[in-house]
Amino acid sequence: MAEVLRSEFCKFRSVRSTFWTLSTAVLFNVALAGLAAIFIPRNLSGHEQSTTDPIRLSLAGVHLSQIAFGVLGTLIVTSEYGTGMIRATFAAVPHRRLVLAGKAIVFATTALIVGIASCFAAYATFEAFLSGDRLRSSIGDPGVVRAITGGGLYLVVLGLLGLGLGTILRSSTGAIATLFALLFVPSILLTLMPQAWRTTIGPFVPMQAGSQIFVATHHEPDNLGAWTGLGVFSLYAAAALTLGFVLINHRDT
């Protein structure tokens, strides 16, 4: 396993897309936090200010950086199928599940570090760019560290969902399209559905469930709790990965 991990890390670090997607993600997280700190507070009414979760606002960049993490997680598998590299890989390591596990571990470890670090950087930037006391919070406030760390965890799980879908579908375009359809389409559809659906199914759709982890205050009662939500979100990723692990041994390359 150590050899496979070394090999997978070598693949991960030796293509430019890794560097670019991760840099873009960090940039989104930090830049949007700064912009949010500068422009949002002055336009809020007193009521809005009291119902706004400043932590969630400081992590506004996650809405964009999740695209980068999702693409990166997917490409780790699909770029090998797209280029034919997968044959060389499986010829070198016939134990295919080991390869997939290696990819998942390498991605998850890197994404965890970059994701959490960039969310803390986003929060620090947000605080630094706030003028006055509006929406100010402290890292010591209840739920703040959990929410910021949670932003990183959310990005890791989302990338693993992409990695699972990539293994199932083996095509970059197909897997990325499916990933983002899974994330964005349910929320859009739900707005067209009766209210009852929104409160029963709504909390369980992937993005709705997963994003509860970075809500620090003003938790909406209809939604799942922070960890329950992340748990449900992880189940989607686990299901995709499990199917990937099953299929990878039974398919020709």
**Binding residues for other proteins (CB under 8 A):** 3-4, 6-8, 10-11, 14-17, 79-80, 83-85, 87-95, 250, 252-253
Q: Under 8 Å CB-to-CB from 9, ≥6 apart: which residues?
A: 106
Nearest approach, Cβ of residue 52 and other proteins (Å): 42
Task: List the one residue out of 128, 124, 82, 78 whose CA is nearest residue 103.
Answer: 78
Closer residue to other proteins (CB): 90 or 129 = 90
Nearest approach, Cβ of residue 162 and other proteins (Å): 18
Nearest approach, Cβ of residue 109 and other proteins (Å): 17
Q: Give the whole-angstrom CA distance, residue 95 versus residue 251.
A: 13
Closer residue to other proteins (CB): 63 or 97 = 97
Closer residue to other proteins (CB): 57 or 76 = 76
CB contact at 8 A, 229 and 211:
yes
Q: Give the whole-angstrom CA distance, residue 246 versus residue 148.
A: 34
State the Cα angle at 206 between 102 and 54, rounded to 5°.
100
CB contact at 8 A, 42 and 136:
no
Q: How many CB atoms lie within 10 A of CB 126?
A: 28
Closer residue to other proteins (CB): 84 or 225 = 84
Nearest approach, Cβ of residue 27 and other proteins (Å): 21
Closer residue to other proteins (CB): 11 or 219 = 11
Q: Under 8 Å CB-to-CB from 237, ≥6 apart: which residues?
A: 157, 158, 160, 161, 164
Environment class of 151 (CB within 10 Å of its CB; exposed 0-12, middle 13-18, buried 19+)? buried
Q: Give the whole-angstrom CA distance, residue 80 versus residue 172.
A: 10
Nearest approach, Cβ of residue 71 and other proteins (Å): 14
Closer residue to other proteins (CB): 56 or 170 = 170
Nearest approach, Cβ of residue 235 and other proteins (Å): 30
